[in-house]
Structure 1
Amino acid sequence: MNISQLLSSSTASLASSSQSTTQASSALSPVLAGITKSSTALQAKLDAATTSLSTLGQFKSAVSLVQTAAQGLSGFQTSSTSDDVKAGITSFITKFNAMVASAQTAAAQTSGTDKISSTMSRALSADLSKISDLRNMGFTKASDGTLKLDATKFAAAYKASPSTVQTALSKLGKLVDKAAGKELASDGRIASSVSALTSKSTLLQTQRTALLKAVQQFSASQSSTTSNALSAYTSNA
């Protein structure tokens, strides 16, 4: 039984009693209203914390996928074809853009995940400007932070110098791998945020449990009071 049900049960019990207990119920209504308000506020905070944890978990997963794709950019061989390399870049871009979308979702929350998501997005995006050869192969970043690849420019660049393209991508992969690793580390900002939200959620759940116990005790007390009042009324009738 949840808090609302307990309160309803208590109120119904009081309402079904005699004239004297009805007056007692009126006197206790501020108490019931206060408990209901506290219960609603706690539940709203607990729901928000749970949502924030889920959102941050999705963002963490997106960053991890970007890191894996970035590591793949350093694994090309001299025998790798244009299609092989293009597939690797496409995979990285897809996962990076998914991370940007996840960051935007997190930023829409008011839980604090907006700060870490925007910081992570900027950290990865900033590294792209350090490698000029990326622009020459049609690798660009849009105003919303997402990445794009001009297939025609890439094909021309790879045909002209496969080693130049692979070297540029290897540098990019290492930079992004390092940035993502820093955020995903046990002492990184993502872990810190998850820990803080988990602690907050645990505290809210503890408070909610304590309030539920208080309501149960309150309901039991009022049932006892009503029973005694009716017994006294009957004996005096």
Structure 2
Amino acid sequence: MTDIVLIGPPGVGKGTQALVLADRAGLTHLASGDLLRASIRDETVLGLLAKTYVDSGRLVPDELVVDMMVDRMLSAGDTLLDGFPRTVAQAEELEERLGRVRRRIDAAVLLTAPRLTLIRRIVGRRSCRACQAQYNTYFAPSRVEGICDACGGELVTRSDDNATTAQLRLEVYDNQTAPLVEHYRAAGVLREIDGTGDPDEVAGRIAASLSVAAAEPKVGPP
């Protein structure tokens, strides 16, 4: 089995690369937020339990999130974890659960980019109200400002795609994720990848970094 963790700050292009990597490597893409919403929607046992926390405005406990992720991983085979784990505590709990079934984290891929680039990617995002085509005013603008090239629809900005919120999201990421990065670095499985440039170039860097992953240490019991 192959299990890879994908880490990256808001705006680094993690969502794009997750889909590319999962497709190229034959991995099942597991995004924790999507999985949580699907479990609640489908009224699974774990989903119904998680719903009690969500409905009351409380955070879903780490133990329950790990339960959902591991349950899905065991039925999925080779996986790419996106948005999870977010903290060292979650990572350690995940490793303990995987160890029970003789699985380990093979690699943790960290996508990086300069702070200014991340902020521009966030605040410059635009999407077509009609067809959902994506643009960025800094890196991939539409030919006519505010108008979709594909269908002529209106381009809109998400309410949370502003400089203030972007800074806050990046600060939260830094506070939560810096220890997690060091956790995987200490374990010898971290792959730090430059997330700037053309998406295909970034995908190539990721693929090259993972080509040696099998020979490197892995997180978890032997």
TM-score (norm 2): 0.24
Q: Which has the larger radius of gyration?
A: 1
Q: In proportion to residue count, which structure has more strand?
A: 2
TM-score (norm 1): 0.23
